[in-house]
Amino acid sequence: MTVLTTEQLGVLARAVSRAPSVHNSQPWQLLVRGSEVDLLERREVELRRHDPSGRDRVLSCGAALTNLELAVRALGRDCHVGLRDDGDVVATVTIGRPRATSARAYLLYQAIGRRRSHRHRFFHSRVPATVQHALVVAGETTGVHVVRPARLDKLAELLGFATRVLRDDRGYQRELAVWTAHTRGWDAHGDGIAEGALGSEAFPAAGLVRTTTPVPDDAVLADRLAAENLLIFCTDGDSRPDRLAAGMALQRVWLTAASKALVGSVLTQPLHLTGFRARLVSELALPGVPQAIFRFGYPAVPAAPSPRLPLGELFRPPGGPR
């Protein structure tokens, strides 16, 4: 049985800790059982207005799972990832024999600490087509499709409607304020979104929509979307393993972007409105169920890291509730 040292456990914990999550809620824990490491979903982390079905929470766990797998491989060990369909354990990573880390895996592992959620405008230059293609390839896997959207006029129409609804939704705005107000700063220990990470720019640069967020009309929004770089992550189904796979793919793309000096942010809140995903599939002829929209580019302003919970809170004691 493989027994991880304290230093090796620290490597895994730091990698998982740096994964992106909905509202920076960090809804995961680790349970170490010899050669097996369980990634558990913290279902008590609830966002009833933003994420009523817990879909974004599972996507977040998928991103953390990619980081966990990369950290194991960076330690020079082979591993197997098994996804779970129910219960608190969303996946089990079984650590195997020594195996040299591939250059690709180590490049992505090194990018974990550089990845940033950038909810601001990008520098006004298009990302080269070869780089965009590399990002798409990084996310493609069985059951997950990474799409560069066409019909930006239709996408703008749908997003414009959704953002106006969210801007006027008092319950949604109260919840967002709770997850923003208690955050003390970039060097703080904790969760939530720092005020400076949201800014006052217009959608889509604003990312999360507040009552003061300017939302341009559909034609202007379509022009702004055309000036950005967008990917939509779709899955064949909408089960928990599908959502986990989408989160894993999204993180691989994001880390690939970070390795190429790019930053990005994720849009999911419109996808939770009733009927929005079905309309998106119909209007954009998507090849599956949309799970997330990823915007990326070169930063116009520096992007700082988000606060993180203390690493000690990441581990669930053996025999604890599951």
Long-range contacts of range 221-226, CB-CB < 8 Å, 24 or more positions apart?
A: 221/156, 221/159, 221/160, 222/152, 222/153, 222/155, 222/156, 225/152, 225/155, 225/156, 225/159, 226/152
Given this model, what pLDDT does residue 126 score? 86
- The tokens for 209 are 């929509």
Q: Determine the residue type at 307.
A: P
6-115+306-314, which class in CATH? alpha beta
pLDDT at 181: 63
List pLDDT tens digits, range 240-265. Answer: 999 999 999 999 999 999 999 999 99
Domain range annotation of the chain: 6-115+306-314, 129-297
For residue 305, the model assigns a pLDDT of 84
pTM across the whole model: 0.95
- Give the chain's mean pLDDT: 93
Instruction: State residue 249's pLDDT score.
Output: 98
What tokens does 144 get? 């997950």
Query: Which regions of the chain are under pLDDT 70?
Result: 1-2, 181-189, 319-322
Fold of the domain spanning 129-297: NADH Oxidase (3.40.109)
Provide the 3-class DSSP secondary structure of residue 319.
coil
Give the Cα separation of 118 and 201 in Å (integer): 12
3-state secondary structure of 77: strand
> Is it true that 6-115+306-314 and 129-297 share their CATH fold?
yes
